[in-house]
Structures are given as structure tokens and as C-alpha cells.
A and B are shown apart, each in its own frame.
Chain A
Amino acid sequence: MAKEMKTPERLLRVPFCPGCGHGIFVRLMQEVIEEKGLSERYISAVGVGCSSNSIGATYGGNIVEAHHGRAPSVTRAMKALRPNCFVWTYQGDGDAYAIGMLETIHAANADAPISVFVINNNNYGMTGGQSAPTTLKGQVTTTSPYGHDGNPIDIIPQLMTYEHVGYIARGTVTSAAEIRKLKGYIRKAVDMQMNENKYSFVEILSPCPTNWHKSPIEACNWINEVVTQKFPLGEFRG
């Protein structure tokens, strides 16, 4: 039986590099928002990074810009003042785990009923592929030409120590099956906020073919074979 795939009404364009994971996330999010009837009832704060390319990717909607790393603070206030809206952040790994680690940790700990979505592409994509706190040991980037010295940070074990956090998952976009799973995670994150008034968190391992100097397929293979060894996939809470 053939099934028709409809483009979400509000999706105008996908202003990312070919093979980038950001575009898949933006589309999935719009599909879920539409499906849940939240099109006129959501606010998102986009961090600084390639996520900010998404401003203009969707029609209307309440997308606001947050300073680098500050989206959880921005949304925490917005949720408090607009409690009937689905309020979420859309951040990069540099945004959430380097300059914004403080907010990432404390918004979760403070039990803020927001949803945090982090696109983890192991580097600072927008500024040209510098190493980030998620860069793998030995990985070559534009600021680690001899291989990265640091160790990749996985935030999920830390978030797991907060009993009250409603939902924690990590997905990826490397295959149709993974994309379907990720969509399920996004749905649950939305429900956790809207039905249980609890914090939810989803990290997305995402290819950055441009800065990894890989083809889109090579990039996906690298995630599946190497990155997932350090950043395991699945639902951890909820």
C-alpha cells in the first residue's frame, strides 16, 4: 500500500548543506508539531550555530534567537509566561555543552518544563568546524590539526542523576529506521512537557559532511561505526 508523504505546511526550505542532519530535525519537528495541533501554540529559541539557519526555514511560528548558549534561560522565562505553549530550544553541541553548559545543567536541574533539543555534530559547524567538547579524542578539526586532545562529553549520565527530569533520549538520522525512532523520541519529549509539565531532553547525532570532509554516506557510516561508540543511542528515561 502506497503512503503519501506530505511536507509540513510551514516548512518553506531547508537552508543547510547537502546531507546535513539539521534539515531532517527541522522537518521532523514540524511534522510532530502539526500532528499534535501545536502549530499556533509553540515557541522555540534557537541557539547560535547552524540551528540559527532554521530561522526562515519555517513559515511564521514563534522562533526567537537566543545568545550563544542561553536558549534554556530564554525558554524558561517564556514557558513561565506562556504556559500553554510548547516551548523548546534548538541548539548545537558547542552551544549547549561549551559556552552554554551552565544553562544546560541548571535548567534541567531546576525542573523547568521546557524541551531541549541538541544537534550533536562533534564540532562548531557554523564557524568552520573547530573542535568542540563533543569532538572525539584524536579527531582532526580546524583547531586540532594534530588530533583533538580532550575527551568527548556525554551529558546524559549527568542528566540521569536528576530524578525529576521527565524524558531523556539520544537519536540519529543515519537511516530511515533511525529517523522513525527519532520522530518517536520527539513526540515523547513534546508529550512530557505538554502533559506532564516536565523537562525533556533529546540529543541528535548529526552528520556535518561539510566540516568532516566526508560524503553524506561516509558521514552517516562514521556516526554509526565510530561516534555511537562514545554516544550510545536510545531512550534513557521516560
Chain B
Amino acid sequence: MKELWKGSHAMAEAAIRAGARLYCGYPITPQSEIMEYMSERMPQVGRIFIQAESELVSINTVYGGALTGNRCVTSSSGVGISLMQEGITSCFSKGLPILIINVNRTGAGMGGGGGEGGSFSGGQDDYTRETHGGGNGYYRNLVFIPDSIQEAVDMIYNAWDIAEPYRNPVVLYTEGRLAQMMEAVEMPEFKEREPLDWGVDGTSKEMKEYRAMNKEYYKYKQRIDLMRENEQQWEEYLLDDAEVVVVAVGLCSRVCRGSINKLRAQGVKIGMLRPKAVWPFPQKGFDALPKSVKKIVCVENSSGPEMLEDVIVAMRYTDHLKTVPVYSSTREGLIPTKELIPFLQGVIDGTVKEVG
């Protein structure tokens, strides 16, 4: 049965139903409601809620919890996630599949300067940090980005099942608006998983196991290569005969979908490739694009082009896309609306300049 849920509450409930044993967080707009929800709900279901005194505490608390082999989750935004980077890269190196819910606010530094929508409506400004690692060393997190509250719920519900075999941190990356809005959601059932064999439990054998972990995944590059090969996720929308392909993620892709529908009604052969995982980036989705593609348009809800770099790299590695022109649209952290159709029309007519 579908019920009306606020985004932040729905994401929190999904993490609980996915088996979160411990949540630790520190308040920061636009996602403090996740933490408030957790403080009420976690004790009701016999789980642990800890309020941190900084994001350093949040990340190191979930690090400790995950060392015991339990599913642990934190959430934050902007500068809060910046502060966690030391701990996140260590969760990677120690092979700890923690879940981080990252609700993007807008802008560099303290945030703000986001234009009409204010700093908290969120955008996709932290795209590069999330997908390419903000901490030290060669590492990657699995990063999923939903276009609806339902998809956020489903992604969170499956996050640990995907991340645990790799022993890798996983990020649900979304925008302030998604956390703040309400939509109808089908909430999944509670799920339990077998206790994992590697957690520290006080007996002496465990230390060796947690250090050794699965040999295959202990080698960082090998683990990253495997995830890159196996965990790409994307949606194809009206691509079969497409000449113009929009690449967009998250809430931004919903606006693109509407614009594409309108242009299709006018006979324009336009479709969308929507990455659902932004790391690993869906190279295979680009490989599968039809030969009819003449133009690629990267539409981002960020203050400047970020995903564009991944799009260009993906095209570089796809034989039939190497010389296809690419166009970029960004909107200062606001979801593009009225301007998008004229912009796409300009791309089609050749009045908008290609990137480069």
C-alpha cells in the first residue's frame, strides 16, 4: 500500500527496514529530519541511536559499529560530509560497508549563494567529491542517486546488499528538495541478514579476519575494478531512435523528462540516459547508445559543470561517440525549468555552442 512520506523520513525508515542497527548523526539542514526521525524510531525497534557532537564523531561511530559487522548508517550534508572524509576513506581501506545518506545543499564552503532557491534547496554541487572521493588515497564509494522518494527508498533498501560483498562504503546521494518534499511511497518489509563472519566480537580470532578480509577485495584496485564492472546502473528513456541524448541524474532528470516529452510531441528524436549510479559511472549505458546519436547534452543541477567530465570520459571510451559534440547546461543549483526547452531547442537548431 502506498502512503504519503516526507523524503527524509522515508529514507530513514528505509535504512531501518534494510537492517540498520546503529545510526549516528549531527544536525545539518536540509536533512536534520533524518536524525530526528531516527531518534524516535530506532529505540522503538531495539536499534541504537547516537547523537554525535560533530561529524567526526558521526563517521567514527559508524566506523566502530561497522567493525563489529553490523549495518550502520549516518547522514549529513555539505560541510558535514566534508568533515567526514578522513573517516570515509578509512572505511574504504578497512573494508567497512557503511551507508552514508548525503543530502546535498548548495555551494562551496559553508554553502549558500544558491540564488533564488536558497542554500538548502540543494543541488548536485557535491557531485565531484562524492564520485571521485574527497579523502586521501585511491578509493571509491558506491554512489546511487535517486529521482524520486520511492527510488531513494529502494536504493537504500538494497544498498547494503550490494556493498557488503565488496566490503565497500555506499552513498545515497540526493538533493535537499528530495529530503523536504512528499510523495507516495510503497515502503518495503523489514529485512534481516545473517550475521557476517568478519565482525569484531571480542574473541581473539576476529582480528585476523577483519584484517585479512576477502583477499580479492583487500587489494583496493581490484575491488574498485570489480565494482566498476558489475555495479553500473542506469535508465534508458526513449533512446531507440534518439539523435539527441540528454544525460541527467536525480531530480534534475525529472525536469528533463518533461521537456523531452514535449519535444517528442513536436517530432524531435530526443531521449535520456539517466545514471542511477554515478559511481561507477554507466560506461555500458554509453556503449549501448544507438548509432543514430548526433548530439549529447549534459544537464546538471549544479553551480557549474561537474558530471560533464564523466560524460566526456565515457564518450571518449565509446567508439561511435568519440567525435559526437557535447553540450552542457548548469543552473546555479536550481532545477532548470522554463529555460530547458529553449536551451534544448537551441542545441537542436545549432544556435547553442558545443563544449570545448
Contact = CB atoms under 8 A, between A and B. Distances in A.
Q: Do A and B come from one complex?
A: yes
Interface of A: 10, 39-43, 45, 59-67, 69-70, 73-78, 80-82, 84-86, 102-103, 106
A106 B57 contact: yes
A185 to B, nearest CB: 23
Nearest to B22: A77
B60 A60 contact: no
Interface hub of A43, A45, A69, A84 (most chain B Cβ within 10 A):
A43
Interface in B72-121: 72, 86-87, 90, 94
A74 B204 contact: no
Contacts of B64: 45, 64, 66, 73-78
B204 A67 contact: no
Which 10 A/B pairs are nearest by Cβ-Cβ distance? Answer: A60-B204, A74-B64, A77-B64, A77-B65, A85-B202, A70-B60, A73-B60, A106-B53, A62-B200, A81-B68
> Interface of chain A, helix or strand or loop or mixed?
mixed
B313 interface: no
Contacts of B63: 66-67, 70, 73-74, 77
B208 A60 contact: yes
Interface of B: 21-22, 24, 48, 50, 52-54, 56-57, 60-65, 67-68, 70, 72, 86-87, 90, 94, 200-208, 210
Contact of B202 (A59, A75, A82): A82
Contacts of B22: 77, 80-81
Contacts of A78: 64-65, 67-68, 200
A146 B72 CA distance: 48
A102 B54 contact: yes
A64 B60 contact: no
21 contacts: A41-B203, A43-B200, A62-B201, A62-B204, A64-B200, A66-B60, A67-B86, A67-B87, A73-B52, A73-B60, A73-B64, A74-B64, A77-B62, A77-B65, A77-B68, A78-B200, A80-B22, A82-B202, A102-B53, A102-B56, A103-B53
B21 A74 contact: no
Contacts of A62: 200-204, 206-207
Contacts of B21: 81
B90 to A, nearest CB: 6
A76 B50 contact: yes
B202 A40 contact: yes
B204 A39 contact: yes
A63 B52 CA distance: 23
Contacts of A103: 53, 56-57, 60
B61 A77 contact: yes
A25 B63 CA distance: 26
Contacts of B201: 62, 82, 85
Contact of A42 (B56, B60, B202): B202
A60 B202 contact: no
Contacts of A59: 204
Nearest to A86: B202
B210 A64 contact: yes
Contacts of A82: 68, 200-202
A81 B210 contact: no
A141 to B, nearest CB: 26
A85 B54 CA distance: 26
A78 B86 CA distance: 19
Contacts of B56: 69-70, 73, 102-103
B136 to A, nearest CB: 12
